[in-house]
């Protein structure tokens, strides 16, 4: 099936992907749970968008939707996801059916993903190399010998020492850091236009974490690919991202340029995330956000963040629907009904 004819969402040729009003619901015994509840963002060519937020806010579900990998009982109930691919033209990913050629192209190399759990991305019963070669052979018409050479080259590029030997080893025979590099090699070997990295450095030591971030950056510099970088850690965002989208309870509550948001966060949730970063000196968390992310079965009325928000006003923040994203400054949007007042207060305070 050819890509569907679409009005471009934007005339900006530099945009690679736009996600518009995406809703992903899980149909469970507890009811219909809106894990992603009207998410919109775009990713520019060659740039990195960080998707941040606490556990359970919908980051991975958003990423899986882009690859149409939402497991049952989940379903995309609304929204568009348009990829402006240089190789394959315009593809509305949300409109594709399983088995459509463009979906095969999207999964087969236009978009690739470093999954959150590296061990689940690797099969324990096959060698590292055979899994990388399989990824190559699935999408490229090359001989097995060429796939082997490409796989070893890619392992070398992602910093695996003695790649010829590692190639023939099983995942349990190599260290956690090596395994994560092997998973990254699998994601990069198809030369994606969009790389989705879902918490690629969680559970790695600081040195390995810095190396992994460095090699994603180097790949991006070499190929011009875009990156959707998912993390709950605003600390790594400053080093990796151009833009940030902050998610809370399935919605984007703040969106903009990384420097603006880290310097002048507009949403009380983003402010809380920044305050809860571990201190550089002591490693202690200075001020954790009180409470926890509510369950999707009990989403608060009004602003979903109001039970935890130090600026919440009864009768204003706890009624009606969730606040919409509004521009606080050019290129900087915030979903908070009190955003302007809070910004003025912060300026006076600081």
Which of 77, 329 has the CB closer to ligand SF4? Answer: 329
* 337 binding ligand SF4? (CB under 6 A): yes
Q: What residues have CB less than 8 Å from 65, skipping those under 6 apart?
A: 22, 24, 36, 76, 81, 94
The 74-85 sheet, strands edge to edge: 31-44, 15-28, 74-85, 89-92
* Residue 28 binding result from ligand SF4, ligand ATP, Mg ion, none, given CB thresholds of 5 to 8 Å by partner type: ligand ATP
Closer to ligand SF4 by Cβ: residue 128 or 303: 303
Measured from each CB, the residue nearest to Mg ion is: 60
Q: Do 97 and 114 form a contact (C-beta atoms < 8 A)?
A: no
The C-alpha atoms of residue 319 and residue 316 are separated, in whole angstroms, by: 6
**Residue 60 binds to Mg ion (criterion: CB under 5 A):** yes
Q: In terms of Cα–Cα distance, which of 209, 197, 210, 225 is closest to 52?
A: 197
The one of ligand SF4, Mg ion, ligand ATP, none whose footprint includes residue 303, by CB under 5 to 8 A per kind, is: ligand SF4
Tokens of 318: 């706890």
Give the binding range for ligand SF4 (CB under 6 A) out of 152-160, 178-186, 237-245, 299-307: 299-307
CB of 4 to ligand ATP, least distance (A): 27
- Token pair, residue 176, equals 């956690």
**Applying CB under 6 A, which residues contact ligand ATP?**
26, 28, 33, 35, 53, 55-61, 71, 74, 116, 232, 296
Q: Which two tokens stand for residue 319?
A: 């009624």
Strands 194-198 and 111-114: parallel
Q: In angstroms, what is the minimal distance from the CB of 27 to ligand ATP? A: 9
Question: What's phi and psi for 42, nearest 5 deg?
Answer: -135, 155
Give least dist CB 288 to ligand SF4, A: 17
Question: Shortest gap between Cβ of 261 and ligand SF4 (angstroms)?
Answer: 15
Is there binding between residue 230 and ligand SF4 (CB under 6 A)? no
CB of 317 to ligand SF4, least distance (A): 3
In angstroms, the Cα distances linking 177 to 181, 191, 210, 286, 350 are: 6, 22, 11, 29, 42
Shortest Cβ 308–ligand ATP spacing (Å): 16
Residue 337: name its binding partner from Mg ion, ligand SF4, ligand ATP, none (Cβ under 5 to 8 Å by kind): ligand SF4
């Amino acid at each position: 099936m050819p890509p569907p004819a679409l009005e471009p969402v934007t005339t900006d040729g530099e945009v690679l992907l736009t996600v518009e009003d995406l809703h992903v619901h899980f149909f469970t015994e507890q009811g219909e749970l809106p894990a992603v509840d009207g998410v919109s963002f775009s990713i520019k060519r060659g740039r990195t968008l960080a998707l941040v937020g606490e556990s359970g806010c919908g980051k991975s579900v958003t990423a899986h939707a882009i690859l149409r990998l939402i497991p049952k009982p989940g379903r995309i109930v609304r929204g568009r996801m348009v990829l402006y691919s240089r190789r394959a033209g315009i593809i509305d990913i949300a409109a594709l059916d399983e088995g459509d050629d463009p979906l095969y192209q999207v999964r087969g190399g236009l978009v690739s993903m470093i999954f959150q759990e590296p061990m689940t991305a690797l099969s324990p019963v096959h060698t590292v190399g055979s899994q990388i070669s399989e990824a190559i052979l699935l999408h490229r018409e090359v001989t097995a010998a060429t796939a082997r050479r490409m796989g070893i080259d890619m392992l070398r590029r992602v910093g695996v020492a003695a790649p010829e030997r590692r190639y023939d080893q099983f995942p349990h025979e190599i260290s956690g850091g090596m395994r994560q590099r092997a998973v990254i090699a699998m994601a990069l070997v198809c030369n994606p236009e969009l790389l989705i990295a879902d918490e690629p450095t969680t559970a790695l030591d600081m040195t390995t974490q810095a190396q992994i971030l460095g090699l994603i950056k180097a790949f991006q510099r070499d190929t011009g690919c875009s990156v959707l970088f998912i993390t709950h850690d605003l600390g790594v965002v400053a080093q990796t991202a151009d833009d940030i989208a902050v998610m809370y309870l399935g919605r984007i509550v703040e969106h903009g340029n990384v420097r603006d948001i880290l310097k002048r966060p507009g949403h009380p949730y983003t402010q809380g995330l920044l305050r809860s970063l571990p201190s550089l000196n002591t490693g202690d968390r200075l001020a954790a956000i009180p409470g926890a992310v509510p369950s999707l079965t009990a989403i608060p009325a009004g602003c979903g963040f109001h039970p935890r928000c130090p600026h919440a006003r009864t009768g204003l923040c706890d009624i009606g629907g969730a606040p919409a994203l509004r521009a606080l400054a050019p290129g900087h949007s915030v979903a908070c009904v009190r955003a302007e007042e809070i910004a003025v207060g912060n300026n006076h305070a600081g």
